[in-house]
Structure 1
């Protein structure tokens, strides 16, 4: 008997560990519910709900292959070794198969499980699955992890030219086992069920993920480069939640993009090339997580930025969190996050720079708040994005690059369509005033919209001064090899 321990790989197709287990003999699947650990990791209620809904779909799909899906409780990951050992002994399982996960806690958990099982004569096999390249195989000439994306991408391109990561076949139907699947809980204590409207935006299951990928690759990818920065347009793939939960694989995404671009990833359609680059950014941040574990521990990638004089401004932080900053593009973006569990990528950068530069509030506050609300919350990508925006990270925006929310708003939501959708109280303003209602004076002022909580110009100067005062601004650890 073989056991596939499912984690962030909730799919039947192109699932490396699942196919490997099934190829070796009768297979049973297990998923561990770990609510205390999820709370500690700031996983969003909408994300936990999304996992459970996808588990329900996956259970049905596995059932058609006669693979039972069992649910076990390991509230914290340090309980996983004993829970899995007990299950293996009950099933008389000879091996556990997993797809690799990355991050300090994930690695520790898997090492502990492997050691416990091996001490009892049970094999533990782990496979590369959620990345195109195994961390530690894309390195600089001096054998270190890349800190600059463009150099990392170049080596990835060279590797892709030599061989494309192949997809694996889904398992065959196996003979029925005398084991029935467990019911998938509809909720987990500590995580409230999100609204129906949010859930309807993110239908569960591989069929939906594949439909989104096909639609994007067939109809939208050509326009991706030109439209992805406009939040009112459907310019992005809307696949991030499915990738984060492993309902679709990066290999499936890469092959779909290549298919739409005659097999090219460096030339041909600029939309496809740009989207493949986004897959490689996802890859880059996961490699950073492994190569520089400090970022898993709430530490800045650039150690010298730990000395930044962040402000303690709880009222301003709350205004940002509650979409009451008085800057429409910021507030509209935050409402989108609160109501849908997702935020447009351009706006993630805009609101992150506003928090860390204009308000000079520690990026960790923003990182945590995002994780607690994002349906696509992913440690590597979220941390990477926040540290990029706050100029504390690898290959990040230079500290003097500070997005102006007003000019970003005018450039990427020129007609105010996105703002008016999320801030209906501003629907009566013309397309010039909607970006900055504070300019509307007298009788026509917007009564139920707050004044800006900060002056963009003076707050920019304050941020520049704070960064200039750091002891040393040269790159940490030789970022330019």
Structure 2
């Protein structure tokens, strides 16, 4: 009997799983395994919110696998010894997995593959979690793209959607149970700060499928206009499901093409195009991280190595983290993040701009906080997003573009519903004042909501002055 291991990582689904399908096609018995080795991802081991999601996603995956007749084999790392033990235990001749692209994981997986091949094991990786491998989209000079628009134009022209792979009809049950359990991994917090997470999210493949179906049916028509409105349920909320591989980009692209574009509904088709472009941003982030592996640590634009960040101010950073800045839409976003493990994308840009430009604190502080508190914390997306807003990335918002949180709030949260939801002190403040309550000094006295920690206009002037001190680029 030919046996293969299918090594689950961040592809926690049984449908449209290329490694699983290939293993089932080639072998009589396929054993699903998961190895927990966060230290091997250092310095970017999963943060607290990500660990919460991982626990529940693994639990969901285990239920799916048990429904198919098997059991998820769980082990602690180091990864190579753990895989070798399971290869010996099940007398496996092959190991299959779906590729990931973070630098530490690429290095680890490359070493594991070579060692196992040297030992006579058929070790294979597959494309499953992206539409394009990071090396598949290149410029005419065979160089990586550094600007999103031409990257996506080329990627979109080359995209060939395929039907999703079916889930298996069944899996052979291995002898004995898993040596370790998901609970043994101790992923959940000991202090239960996650109570609201359960109200907001359903981790796992069924939850991802349900969220996508809801979005397809009710969210696409107005997506292009509503996606920037934090006061509306206008986004897909698929980001953590995508990060953990509970749904694949190809499943999404196929559904958008076959169920939306073929329907002839022009409004929904426009929403589908807009949403697929957001998937493209995710692809672009993976592309950048693969080609510029120091992106989480270093400015992609080296001019910013000389930028005059303000002296590190732990007290100011802490006020930003706690949602006590005195700027309503900033505080709403930071409290939403702490409470739910997520934040509306438009507001993510606002809070990042406030930290890096108004407070002039290094983008690393924000990147680390998001890494620990976001359920969808993704190394490529997180680093790319912070560099984009800070102005130091390869395809960045210009540093001199400084979001005004008051005018942004008035534009995208015009009645103040988003602020009132997350900043309880301001629940009774009327719309004309909700985004600048300091205009009426009595509001602070009545509610206890803090005065702004910084003068927005003055801090903008200082940020622009620091920007002007940067050395000129060759293009200047």
Q: TM-score range by the shorter chain?
A: over 0.9
CA separation of 1:453/1:175 partners in 2, compared to 1, >3 Å: closer, same or farther?
closer
Residue 43 of structure 1 is aligned with which of 41, 46, 61?
Answer: 46
CA distance in 2, matches of 1:150, 1:446: 49
Q: Is the 8 A contact 1:354 1:403 kept in 2?
A: yes
> Cα deviations across residues 423-463 of structure 1 (Å, max 9, x unaligned)?
11111211111111111124874441111111111111111
CA distance in 2, matches of 1:165, 1:156: 15
Give the C-alpha shift of residue 280 in structure 1.
0.6
CA separation of 1:189/1:37 partners in 2, compared to 1, >3 Å: closer, same or farther?
farther
Give the C-alpha shift of residue 295 in structure 1.
0.7
With 229-238 and 427-436 compared, the bigger mean Cα shift is at 427-436
Instruction: Answer yes or no: is 1:164 the counterpart of 2:167.
Output: no
User: What's 1:142 paired with?
Assistant: 141
Count of aligned positions:
468
CA separation of 1:136/1:216 partners in 2, compared to 1, >3 Å: closer, same or farther?
same
Residue 66 of structure 2 is aligned with which of 39, 50, 63?
Answer: 63
Give the C-alpha shift of residue 197 in structure 1.
2.1
Give the C-alpha shift of residue 90 in structure 1.
2.2
User: What's 1:18 paired with?
Assistant: 20
Secondary structure of 1:261's counterpart equals helix
CA distance in 1, matches of 2:51, 2:184: 10
Show structure 2 runs of 5+ residues with no match: none
With 151-160 and 33-42 compared, the bigger mean Cα shift is at 33-42
User: What's 1:441 paired with?
Assistant: 441
CA separation of 1:261/1:175 partners in 2, compared to 1, >3 Å: closer, same or farther?
closer
Instruction: Answer yes or no: is 1:262 the counterpart of 2:265.
Output: no
Correspondences of 1:239-388 after superposition (within 5 Å): 239-263=238-262, 269-296=269-296, 298-311=297-310, 312-388=312-388
User: What's 1:80 paired with?
Assistant: 79
CA separation of 1:126/1:438 partners in 2, compared to 1, >3 Å: closer, same or farther?
same
With 353-362 and 425-434 compared, the bigger mean Cα shift is at 425-434
Instruction: Answer yes or no: is 1:31 the counterpart of 2:28.
Output: no
CA separation of 1:282/1:57 partners in 2, compared to 1, >3 Å: closer, same or farther?
same
TM-score, normalization by structure 2: 0.94
User: What's 2:468 paired with?
Assistant: 468
Give the C-alpha shift of residue 397 in structure 1.
0.5
User: What's 1:229 paired with?
Assistant: 228
CA separation of 1:264/1:145 partners in 2, compared to 1, >3 Å: closer, same or farther?
farther
With 302-311 and 361-370 compared, the bigger mean Cα shift is at 302-311
Residue 5 of structure 1 is aligned with which of 4, 7, 16?
Answer: 7
User: What's 2:88 paired with?
Assistant: 89
Give the C-alpha shift of residue 44 in structure 1.
2.7
Give the C-alpha shift of residue 94 in structure 1.
0.8
Secondary structure of 2:373's counterpart equals coil
Secondary structure of 1:221's counterpart equals coil
> Cα deviations across residues 242-264 of structure 1 (Å, max 9, x unaligned)?
11111111111112222343249
CA distance in 1, matches of 2:408, 2:323: 17
CA separation of 1:459/1:443 partners in 2, compared to 1, >3 Å: closer, same or farther?
closer
Instruction: Answer yes or no: is 1:185 the counterpart of 2:183.
Output: yes
TM-score, normalization by structure 1: 0.93
Q: Is the 8 A contact 1:14 1:169 kept in 2?
A: yes
Q: Is the 8 A contact 1:289 1:380 kept in 2?
A: yes
Q: Is the 8 A contact 1:66 1:177 kept in 2?
A: no
CA separation of 1:239/1:153 partners in 2, compared to 1, >3 Å: closer, same or farther?
same
Secondary structure of 2:219's counterpart equals helix
Give the C-alpha shift of residue 36 in structure 1.
3.8
CA distance in 2, matches of 1:275, 1:4: 31
CA separation of 1:169/1:436 partners in 2, compared to 1, >3 Å: closer, same or farther?
same
Give the C-alpha shift of residue 416 in structure 1.
0.6
Secondary structure of 2:434's counterpart equals helix
Q: Is the 8 A contact 2:42 2:104 kept in 1?
A: no
> Cα deviations across residues 360-391 of structure 1 (Å, max 9, x unaligned)?
11011100100100001101111111110000
Q: Is the 8 A contact 1:4 1:98 kept in 2?
A: yes
CA distance in 2, matches of 1:443, 1:290: 49
CA separation of 1:54/1:159 partners in 2, compared to 1, >3 Å: closer, same or farther?
same
CA distance in 1, matches of 2:281, 2:451: 37
User: What's 1:479 paired with?
Assistant: none
Q: What RMSD in Å do the two structures reach over aligned CA positions?
A: 2.1
